[in-house]
Amino acid sequence: MLETVFVRPIGDADWPHLAALEHMSYGPLGLSEGQNALETWGALSPRTCFVLGDPGEVRAYVLSMPFRYGGYPELGTSTGVWTGSPNLHLHDLSVAPAFRRTGLGRHLVEHLTSVASSLGYHRISLIALSGTFPFWSSNGFRPDPAVPAPTGYGADARYLTKVL
pLDDT tens across 4-20, in order?
A: 678 999 999 999 999 99
Who contacts 96 (Cβ-Cβ below 8 Å, separation ≥6)?
21, 24, 58, 59, 60
Mean pLDDT for the chain overall: 89
Confidence (pLDDT) at 109: 97
Confidence (pLDDT) at 124: 98
69 and 126 in contact (C-beta within 8 Å)?
Answer: no
Average pLDDT over residues 61-74: 89
Q: Where are the domains of the chain?
A: 7-163
Confidence (pLDDT) at 59: 94
Beta pairing partners, 17: none
For the cut 60, the answer to whether the pLDDT of residue 98 exceeds it is: yes
For the cut 70, the answer to whether the pLDDT of residue 79 exceeds it is: no
**CATH H superfamily, domain 7-163:** Gcn5-related N-acetyltransferase (GNAT) (3.40.630.30)
